[in-house]
């Protein structure tokens, strides 16, 4: 009998068929035993685990989805390790529960869009009590389970400090999102010319490897022709505002970049993001920021300006689409002039009305970042699998929203989210289509997942998703699939 047939007949074990991979005299696979997924091998596969039988005359070992085994799998099956994505049209799919990757793969496979399957910020890792190693391991296991050989990236998102770079570099991340947002001076937009002039003189020019005179010589009263015909004209007020607003961010980004380049023992790629600031990035400021980063030797594959309008978590774009299109066209012209690099859309989930605009104007030079929307799809699946658990999470989230919303840009009103007792079982899942319920459930994920050390909601939530993993994957495939459909160019 063939090896795969013998594996199928092992007692109490159900092999994920798509995972079965033979290489170098060993066969690797993932399999369910009870509610848990394990990694297995037949033959000399190098995995730690227990011997559970024989297949085609070879010993079969089944082991835990731990870091040691993940390292073995990445070594033997290189396509389960993260790689560089370059300028390919791409989507970042954050997975806060560690179970979403198979659903993400099913959505993205065959679309031609490259994917990041491991993506989390240090802030989110803290909120979900996960380590950088775990984030990558979960992507590895998902890629093995689905037999996904197209490759994927690993994004260490929103890095703010050098030690964040160290931790994620050591864990094997390939894509580093430098976030100098804390060094963007949002007050610059409202400052008088005089105040800007004073603030300009106090900039840390040494950190910029420049001087006030140098900066003026480079930009003041100059017009920069843009690819495609437009131009950026920088007058005195424009220069002062751009330098005061983004000067510190330029210096911090360059320092973080040098730190990363100095420590990296392999090729890595970089994104620069200033999306989490109060005021939008004007095209002129984008030009100044990117030109200064280039001057300081920073290389990046994507950049996330702060766009006009509101990119609230888990819901569609709020604002004028015409204004967004006009502004994006200018950002794209700057990108084509100083790049090319990808325009990165953060808080990018569920912005269905803007995807066609971005795909069209950038000609596919776009990266879309999503994360919380997959958590919401997990909740949608749980609403059907275990309505009682979903009800408890809903009421807990309603109680937490007032506190947890503080660090997010959201406008939902908790009074418009019904108490669990007022909703029939059959209507629970539909809450995931409601603006207010989505935001309330979205921003409370950290509190939900860490309540009572995870025993209150996280463990039962993971248990429910393991009980019916296909329902979870189907919800993800459908919802992320809608995003990818919007990104397709027509």
Could you list the active site residues?
Answer: 157, 271
Residue 350 contacts Zn ion per CB under 5 A? no
Calpha distance 217→198 (Å, rounded):
18
Q: Is 404 in the site for Zn ion (CB under 5 A)?
A: no
Among 146, 155, 269, 275, binds Zn ion (CB under 5 A): 275
Stretch that binds Zn ion, among 273-281, 286-294, 405-413, 419-427 (CB under 5 A): 273-281
Instruction: Count residues near Zn ion (CB under 5 A).
Output: 2
Nearer to Zn ion, 45 or 180 (CB): 180
Does 58 bind Zn ion (CB under 5 A)? Our answer is no
> How many angstroms separate the CA atoms of 475 and 380, rounded?
7
| Closer residue to Zn ion (CB): 96 or 346 | 346
Rounded to a whole number of angstroms, the minimum distance from the CB of residue 346 to Zn ion is: 3
Nearest approach in angstroms of CB 306 to Zn ion is: 10
Least distance to Zn ion, CB of residue 302, Å: 12
Of 62-70, 267-275, 290-298, 431-439, the segment contacting Zn ion by CB under 5 A is: 267-275
Both tokens of 234, joined, read 């920088």
Plot region of 437 (φ>0 → left; ψ -120 to 50 → alpha; else → beta): alpha
**By CB under 5 A, which span of 37-45, 87-95, 275-283, 320-328 interacts with Zn ion?**
275-283
x/- string (CB under 5 A) for Zn ion, residues 120-159? ----------------------------------------
Closest distance between Zn ion and the C-beta of residue 276, in Å?
6
Least gap, CB of 92 to Zn ion (angstroms):
10
Half-sphere exposure of 442 (CA within 13 A, CB side): 29
* H-assigned helices in 147-297: 162-171, 193-201, 212-219, 236-263, 283-295
How far is Cα 147 from Cα 444, in angstroms, rounded to an integer? 33
| CB 114, min distance to Zn ion, A | 19
Candidate segments 68-76, 239-247, 263-271, 341-349, binder of Zn ion by CB under 5 A: 341-349
- Cβ closest to Zn ion, residue 346 vs residue 438: 346
Tell me the closest approach of the beta carbon of residue 160 to Zn ion, in angstroms. 12
Distance between CA atoms of 285 and 281, rounded to whole angstroms?
A: 6
Q: Are 213 and 220 in contact (CB under 8 A)?
A: no
Query: Is residue 346 near Zn ion by the rule CB under 5 A?
Result: yes
Strands (E), 64-161: 90-93, 114-121, 153-159
Backbone angles phi, psi at 222, to 5 degrees: -110, 155
312 binding Zn ion? (CB under 5 A): no
CB 4 within 8 A of CB 24: no
Q: Is 470 helix (H, G, I), strand (E, B) or coil?
A: helix
Q: Among the candidate windows 61-69, 74-82, 138-146, 270-278, which touches Zn ion by CB under 5 A?
A: 270-278
Q: Is 377 in the site for Zn ion (CB under 5 A)?
A: no
3-state secondary structure 349-413: CCCCCCHHHHHHHHCCCEEEEECHHHHHHHHHHHHHHCHHHHHHHHHHHHHHHHHHHHHCCCCCC
Q: Are 32 and 17 in contact (CB under 8 A)?
A: no
Closest by CA to 429, choosing from 482, 466, 461, 391, is 391
Quick one: 346 or 367, whose CB is closer to Zn ion?
A: 346
- Closest to Zn ion by CB, 120 vs 210, is 120
Q: What 3-state DSSP class applies to 279?
A: coil
* Contact stretch for Zn ion (CB under 5 A) within 69-77, 346-354, 413-421, 426-434: 346-354
Asked if 4 and 20 touch (Cβ cutoff 8 Å), the reply is: yes
Does 351 contact Zn ion by CB under 5 A? no
Residue of minimal Cβ distance to Zn ion: 346
Question: What does the block give as tokens for 385?
Answer: 């699998």
Within residues 36-55, the interface with Zn ion by CB under 5 A covers none
Q: How far is the CB of 361 from Zn ion (least distance, A)?
A: 20
Shorter beta-carbon distance to Zn ion: residue 316 or 395: 316
Binding site for Zn ion (CB under 5 A): 275, 346
């Amino acid at each position: 009998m063939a090896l795969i047939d013998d594996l199928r007949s092992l007692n109490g074990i159900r092999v994920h068929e798509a995972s079965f991979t033979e290489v170098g005299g060993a066969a690797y696979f993932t399999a369910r035993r009870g509610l848990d997924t394990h990694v297995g091998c037949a033959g000399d596969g190098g995995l730690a685990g227990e011997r559970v039988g024989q297949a085609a005359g070879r010993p079969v070992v089944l082991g835990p989805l731990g870091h040691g085994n993940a390292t073995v799998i990445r070594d033997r099956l290189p396509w389960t390790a993260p790689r560089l994505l370059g300028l390919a049209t791409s989507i970042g799919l954050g997975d806060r529960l560690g179970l979403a990757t198979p659903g993400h793969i099913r959505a993205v496979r065959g679309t031609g869009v490259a994917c990041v399957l491991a993506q989390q910020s240090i802030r989110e890792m803290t909120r979900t009590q996960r380590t950088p190693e775990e984030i990558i391991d979960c992507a590895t296991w998902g890629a093995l389970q689905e037999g996904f050989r197209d490759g994927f990236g690993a994004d260490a998102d929103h890095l703010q400090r050098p030690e964040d770079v160290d931790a994620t570099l050591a864990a094997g991340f390939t894509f580093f999102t430098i976030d100098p947002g804390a060094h963007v001076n949002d007050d610059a937009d409202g400052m008088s010319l005089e105040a800007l002039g004073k603030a300009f003189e106090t900039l840390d020019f040494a950190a910029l490897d420049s001087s006030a005179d140098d900066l003026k010589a480079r930009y003041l009263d100059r017009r920069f022709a843009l690819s495609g015909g437009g131009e950026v004209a920088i007058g005195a007020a424009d220069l002062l505002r751009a330098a005061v607003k983004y000067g510190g961010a330029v210096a911090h980004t360059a320092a973080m970049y040098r730190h990363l380049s100095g420590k990296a023992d392999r090729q890595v790629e970089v994104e620069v993001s200033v999306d989490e600031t109060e005021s939008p990035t004007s095209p002129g400021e984008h030009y100044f920021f990117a030109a200064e980063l280039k001057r300081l030797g920073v290389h990046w594959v994507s950049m996330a300006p702060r766009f006009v309008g509101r990119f609230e978590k888990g819901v569609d774009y709020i604002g004028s689409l015409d204004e967004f299109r006009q502004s994006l066209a200018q950002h794209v012209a700057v990108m084509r002039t100083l790049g090319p690099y990808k325009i990165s859309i953060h808080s990018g989930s569920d912005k269905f009305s803007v995807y066609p605009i971005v795909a069209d104007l950038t000609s596919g030079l776009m990266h879309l970042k999503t994360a919380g929307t997959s958590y919401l799809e997990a909740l949608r699946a749980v609403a059907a699998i275990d309505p009682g658990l979903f009800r408890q999470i809903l009421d807990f989230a309603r109680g937490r929203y007032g506190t947890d919303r503080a660090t997010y840009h959201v406008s939902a009103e908790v009074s418009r989210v019904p108490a669990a007792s007022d909703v029939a079982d059959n209507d629970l899942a539909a809450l995931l289509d409601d603006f207010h319920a989505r935001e309330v459930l979205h921003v409370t994920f950290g509190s939900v997942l860490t309540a009572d050390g995870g025993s209150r909601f996280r463990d039962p939530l993971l248990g429910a998703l393991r009980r019916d993993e296909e329902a979870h994957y189907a919800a993800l495939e459908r919802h992320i699939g809608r995003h990818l459909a919007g990104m397709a160019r027509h």
